[in-house]
């Protein structure tokens, strides 16, 4: 009967632990959700025309490997395809009124395909073959990358047990740093440079039961838990979107461009 009561109590505690959120510690919303209004509602440029920009690469410069406590891990801590997020952010910021992105990541494939088209047209149509339209060039190159990934900037937790029964909570914070700069193709001058950081949260909740039964001759132990890790790729994406917004605002402050209307940043939720 005593063992049955212990098992019943354990199941009850595990059920509570699976629904428990860290007390006194708020889970963050994704940065995109907080910046969505600002990201979409950045006013149009004063010129009324988008700037043509090029993205050649946006590499991972951290050299960090995915954390692992037991074995060597050769997977990287952050995505190796961050230029896709940067291109998408440049296209979408301010509802698409700020930038036109020309293809440079896959420039080799693009030029080869244009060469094939030109050769085929000349083979079938001769000298009267219709020429391809000239490729658009960019006035600004977007450079930068993921320059930092610091693990366990802050970690901690708490536990409380009575008679060997109780919950435990642990949490940790990592920080990913994004650097982005706009370089003038005409002069080579770095027009704008910004750095943005995004915190990545991880938490682990567990409950444990340790009892000695049969006059202390046998140990009965049960432990159950739930770990939540904020996706690192989502954090990189959110940080890049924040960097693009900050780049536009910094460009306005430095006189590189201006807004069509007076810009008032939305209030951020506490």
136 neighbors 52 (Cβ within 8 angstroms): yes
Averaged pLDDT for residues 25-53: 69
Q: Taking CA 90 as the corner, what is the angle to CA 149 and CA 189, rounded to the nearest 5 degrees?
A: 80
Domains belonging to the chain, first-starting first, are: 2-20+49-253 (3.40.50.10610)
The reported pLDDT for the residue numbered 64 is 74
Q: Tell me the pLDDT band of 100, cut-offs 50, 70 and 90.
A: very high
Output 115-120 pairs: Cβ under 8 A, ≥24 positions apart.
none
78 neighbors 64 (Cβ within 8 angstroms): yes
Averaged pLDDT for residues 21-46: 59
Averaged pLDDT for residues 19-40: 50
The reported pLDDT for the residue numbered 268 is 56
Nearest to 183 by CA among 195, 191, 175: 191
pLDDT for 218-241, tens place per residue? Answer: 777 777 778 887 788 888 999 999
pTM over 0.85: no
95 CB burial (10 A radius; 0-12, 13-18, 19+)? exposed
Q: Tell me the pLDDT band of 68, cut-offs 50, 70 and 90.
A: low
- What does each C-alpha distance from 202 to 20, 31, 146, 218, 263 come to in angstroms? 15, 15, 20, 35, 35
The reported pLDDT for the residue numbered 1 is 52
Averaged pLDDT for residues 105-109: 92
Output 67-72 pairs: Cβ under 8 A, ≥24 positions apart.
67/151
Q: In whole numbers, what is the pLDDT of the chain averaged over residues?
A: 80
- Residue 54: is its pLDDT beyond 80? yes
pLDDT for 154-173, tens place per residue? Answer: 778 877 777 667 788 888 88
Averaged pLDDT for residues 76-99: 90
- Residue 58 has phi, psi (to 5 degrees) of -145, 75
The reported pLDDT for the residue numbered 32 is 43
140 neighbors 52 (Cβ within 8 angstroms): yes
30 neighbors 242 (Cβ within 8 angstroms): no
């Amino acid at each position: 009967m005593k063992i049955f009561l212990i098992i019943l109590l354990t199941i009850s505690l595990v059920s509570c632990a699976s629904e428990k959120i860290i007390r006194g510690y708020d889970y963050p919303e994704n940065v995109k959700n907080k910046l969505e209004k600002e990201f979409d509602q950045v006013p149009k440029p004063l010129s009324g025309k988008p700037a043509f920009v090029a993205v050649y690469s946006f590499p991972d410069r951290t050299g960090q490997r995915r954390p692992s406590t037991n074995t060597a891990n050769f997977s990287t801590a952050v995505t190796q395809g961050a230029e896709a997020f940067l291109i998408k952010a440049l296209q979408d910021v301010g509802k698409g009124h700020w930038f036109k992105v020309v293809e440079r990541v896959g420039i080799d494939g693009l030029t080869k395909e244009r060469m094939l088209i030109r050769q085929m047209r000349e083979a079938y149509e001769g000298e009267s073959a219709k020429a391809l339209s000239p490729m658009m060039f960019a006035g600004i190159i977007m450079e930068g990358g993921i320059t930092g990934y610091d693990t366990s900037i802050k970690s901690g937790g708490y536990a409380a047990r009575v008679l060997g029964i109780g919950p435990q909570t642990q949490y940790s914070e990592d920080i990913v740093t994004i650097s982005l700069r706009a370089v003038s193709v005409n002069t080579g001058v770095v027009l704008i440079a910004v750095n943005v950081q995004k915190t990545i949260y991880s938490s682990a909740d567990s409950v444990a039961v340790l009892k000695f039964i049969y006059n202390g001759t046998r140990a009965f132990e049960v432990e159950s838990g739930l770990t939540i890790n904020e996706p690192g790729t989502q954090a990189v994406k959110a940080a890049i979107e924040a960097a693009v917004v900050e780049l536009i605002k910094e460009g306005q402050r430095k006189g590189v461009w201006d807004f069509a209307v007076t810009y008032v940043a939305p209030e951020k939720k506490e």
